[in-house]
Amino acid sequence: MSDVAREVGVSAKTVSRVVNDDVHVSPETAARINEAIERLGFRRNESARLLRQGTALTVGLLLEDVADPFYGTLTRAIEECVLAHGRQLLVSSSAEDARRADHLVGAFVSRGVGGLILAPAMGMDEKLLADQQAKRCPVVVFDRPLEGLGVDTVLADNRRGAIAGVRHLIEHGHRRIAFFGDAESVYTARERRAGYGEALADAGIALDSDLVVMAQPGESAAEESLAGLAALADPPTAVFAGNNRWSVQLLRAVGRHPMNLAFVGFDDFELADVLDPGVTVVTQDPAAMGRVAAELLFRRIEGDDGPAQRIQLSTSLVARGSGEKPGPFVK
């Protein structure tokens, strides 16, 4: 920067003003400075700016796993928004591990990120995040809430989505409907199961805990659970999968051991429409979730300090065939 200043014959501060689009520079000087910047290939050293100002032009994103298509899509949407604001994204996967998540938040903080977007892992240190907010590093959470902390939040309407999916199966004549959800510790899994329970209750169907599986999705877990269900005296005629990881695992298992089950899954996934029959799903929109989270963050970064918002994104049911197989109680 001093090189540029010397070249043009002004002080470093004037160059700094130009770089920061300060208005108090004569257009003519600014033009000369810009020309020199171009010519010398000058690029501001962000670390020095950061050291002085205390906040980097960077946003930290903490999610469960970038390799998961849901989070991948969301990441891309956030990235676009962040880029449009002249910033860059630090991305880390918590792997659903609270200690790792805490460590990563610390790493973001010591790098001076200007904001934090995260899907909180169960058991994270909320004080760490509260401290950040206090230090004017805005925090936005998505996918799961962080109770107690007054923080902007973007969630899918998990409960209503699950109700819609399960009700859809009931309307097609099913009364024995199995539910597969992620581990009990995962907020979305609990919400979706609650929705499942509500939909059954609304239809006057008693909840049978034999039909409820709450566990981390996995190939062998899918096989074993399905075998267990098939062996019941009164086996299910339909399955509701609580997330797309379960959908994929279950479809794989069902493909190997045909059981003629109706199927609805929460969250869409690639090729759901190409499978035969097409897979009926309750979709959420990960890109929209990312966009909304990023927008909330930038509103805070730009100074808004109104009360914390909680935005719920609606879901919608996409019927493709698997959820419309008639059950034994067809009306």
Partner DNA sequence: CTGTTAGCGCTTTCAT
Partner DNA sequence: ATGAAAGCGCTAACAG
Instruction: Provide the binding-site residues for a copy of itself, judged by CB under 8 A.
Output: 43-48, 50-51, 56, 58, 65-69, 71-73, 75-76, 79, 83, 88-93, 104, 106-112, 248, 251-252, 255, 269-271, 273-276
Q: What is the C-alpha to C-alpha distance for residues 207 and 197, in angstroms, rounded to an integer?
A: 7
Q: Which residues neighbour 131 within 8 Å (Cβ) at sequence distance 6 or greater?
A: none
The residue type at 121? A
Q: What is the C-alpha to C-alpha distance for residues 70 and 322, in angstroms, rounded to an integer?
A: 21
* Residue among 103 and 299 whose Cβ is closer to a copy of itself: 103
- Exposed/middle/buried for residue 178 (C-beta within 10 Å: 0-12, 13-18, 19+): buried
Interacting partner of 14 out of a copy of itself, DNA, none (Cβ under 5 to 8 A depending on kind): DNA
The residue type at 309? Q
Closest approach, Cβ 14 to DNA, in A, equals: 4
Closest approach, Cβ 48 to DNA, in A, equals: 3
Interacting partner of 234 out of DNA, a copy of itself, none (Cβ under 5 to 8 A depending on kind): none
Closest approach, Cβ 66 to a copy of itself, in A, equals: 5
Q: What is the C-alpha to C-alpha distance for residues 52 and 272, in angstroms, rounded to an integer?
A: 51
Closest approach, Cβ 71 to a copy of itself, in A, equals: 8
Whether 65 contacts 216, CB under 8 Å: no
Applying CB under 7 A, the residues found at the interface with DNA are: 1-2, 9-14, 16-17, 19-20, 23-26, 28-30, 44-45, 48-49, 51-54
Closest approach, Cβ 36 to DNA, in A, equals: 13
Interacting partner of 11 out of DNA, a copy of itself, none (Cβ under 5 to 8 A depending on kind): DNA
For residue 160 the two structure tokens come to: 């209503």
Helix H, strand E, coil C: the string for 175-221 is CCEEEEECCCCCHHHHHHHHHHHHHHHHCCCCCCHHHEEECCCCHHH
Interacting partner of 252 out of DNA, a copy of itself, none (Cβ under 5 to 8 A depending on kind): a copy of itself
Q: What is the C-alpha to C-alpha distance for residues 180 and 188, in angstroms, rounded to an integer?
A: 12
* Residue among 22 and 273 whose Cβ is closer to a copy of itself: 273
Closest approach, Cβ 297 to a copy of itself, in A, equals: 17
Interacting partner of 251 out of DNA, a copy of itself, none (Cβ under 5 to 8 A depending on kind): a copy of itself
Closest approach, Cβ 123 to DNA, in A, equals: 28
Interacting partner of 84 out of a copy of itself, DNA, none (Cβ under 5 to 8 A depending on kind): none
Closest approach, Cβ 18 to DNA, in A, equals: 8
Interacting partner of 56 out of DNA, a copy of itself, none (Cβ under 5 to 8 A depending on kind): a copy of itself
The pair phi, psi for residue 97, each rounded to 5°, is -115, 115
Q: What is the C-alpha to C-alpha distance for residues 183 and 125, in angstroms, rounded to an integer?
A: 20
The residue type at 224? E
Q: In 3D, which of 134, 153, 132 has the Cα closest to residue 59?
A: 132
- Exposed/middle/buried for residue 182 (C-beta within 10 Å: 0-12, 13-18, 19+): buried
* Residue among 164 and 297 whose Cβ is closer to a copy of itself: 297
* Residue among 24 and 256 whose Cβ is closer to DNA: 24
* Residue among 57 and 318 whose Cβ is closer to DNA: 57
Q: In 3D, which of 79, 35, 56 has the Cα closest to residue 293?
A: 79
Interacting partner of 23 out of a copy of itself, DNA, none (Cβ under 5 to 8 A depending on kind): DNA
